[in-house]
Amino acid sequence: MKLIRLAAALLVSALIATPSLAQDRRVPASAAELRLSYGPIVQRVQPAVVNVYAAKMVQNHNPFLDDPIFRRFFGLPGGQQEQMQRSLGSGVMVDASGLVVTNVHVIEGADQVKVSLSDKREFEAEIVLKDSRSDLAVLRLKDAHEKFPTLDFANSDELMVGDVVLAIGNPFGVGQTVTHGIISALARTQVGITDYQFFIQTDAAINPGNSGGALVDMTGKLAGINTAIYSRSGGSQGIGFAIPANMVRVVVASAKSGGKSVKRPWLGAKLQTVTPDIADSLGLKTPSGALVASVVQGSPAARAGLKASDLITAIDGQPIDDPNGFDYRFATHPLGGTSQIDAIRGGKTLKLAVALETAPDKDRDEITLSGRSPFQGAKVANISPAVADELHLDADTEGVVVTELSEDSTAATVGFQKGDIILAVNSKKISKTGDLDKVTRDQSRLWRITLLRGGQQINVTLGG
């Protein structure tokens, strides 16, 4: 079984619930109630769900086209041929001025993005913000001079397993489709598709093309953004995942404020999972919580008094089962003020106030390498605390790291990966991005590269 993100790729060309902080939860009282319809909810929310179309030009190189005899015989043009690749997904209108939230993987690398409304009108859209860590992107409709229908955010922390939900999107490009199911599980943290592993699981039928679409509750509010499924066949098998609305809210707020990236609180501590053996050694009944492995000197965690071997059990009253759960809870807090962390140390419970502030990002000096070298097209940065936090590196890591790679870049083609730390090139130590930029501008036929990947040092020799 494999995990599938829901964007579909194509080559080519009466149950009205009043809004409240909590839903009325009850089973049907009679056979007549079983015949009630979700229609009124669908009619209210469907206009705010849109279809998203992204297009990009790709090089389609056929080696046979390099042969002039083959080309002449079949009457074909030579060289690399450009082909338009289109992907389709869904989105949700979250601001009446024309802001749409969708998944990053729906619009990744797109040269052109279009949004189709439920009334079939189409708008060109610009990408306002991409947050790869959450797989969320915010678009803005171009030349829009009206107020659009929107969805309000639910408080996803109030959702319960068993709650009825509706999934709305554009599966397989057939057009806007509504399915229903229940919330099968909450706080799924072992899914492996974004940095923040904390998903709503649902059995509402969602398929490729549903990416970025709405998961709504019975008050008609946005409970989450559908983003992936587990599937053997590529279609729905009743296990779908949505990004909780509280994370979506943070990303949308950053876009509304004019930010080009999402600023989140930084703890400044490395956390690890509590295994059954660790639980036994700590005298715990169950292996839950997040164990502090190390603390960065001068960080919010250090100033709050958090120490290695402390066990974090809750944040602002919300229980913590594992490090992923803590990361999500902490990341959805607004900057400014403090957050209360409950921790166990030596059998005693401590309550610590941690400042909600961003990681230092001084001297990041992020650049895209353009010199003719194996690094061409790679974006690299000096490792600041903020960069270390984004890429899950140890806080004391130094040097230059690959932060981004375009799909068709030379760097991606030769095998570099996001998170690779470049230590040396042609026997020259790389301490900052300027060092790497300078050495890649040298004309060389042979490149000897030393890098660190996943804690392992790798030596590579590449022809120029």
Q: Which of the residues are catalytic?
A: 105, 135, 211
Nearest Cα to 341, choosing from 383, 10, 333, 6? 333
Max CA distance (Å), the chain: 82
Block residue for tokens 């149950």: 15
Q: Are 388 and 397 in contact (CB under 8 A)?
A: yes
Phi and psi at residue 297, to the nearest 5°: -60, 130
Q: Which two tokens stand for residue 178?
A: 């509504």
Please, what is the end-to-end C-alpha distance for the chain in angstroms?
40
Q: H-helix or E-strand containing 386? A: helix 385-390
Rounded Cα distance between 248 and 128, Å, is 14
Q: Are 444 and 464 in contact (CB under 8 A)?
A: yes
Question: In a 3-state reduction of DSSP, which class is residue 156?
Answer: helix
Q: Which two tokens stand for residue 131?
A: 């947050």
Phi and psi at residue 212, to the nearest 5°: 85, -5
Q: Are 344 and 311 in contact (CB under 8 A)?
A: yes
Q: Are 39 and 14 in contact (CB under 8 A)?
A: yes
Q: Are 243 and 262 in contact (CB under 8 A)?
A: no
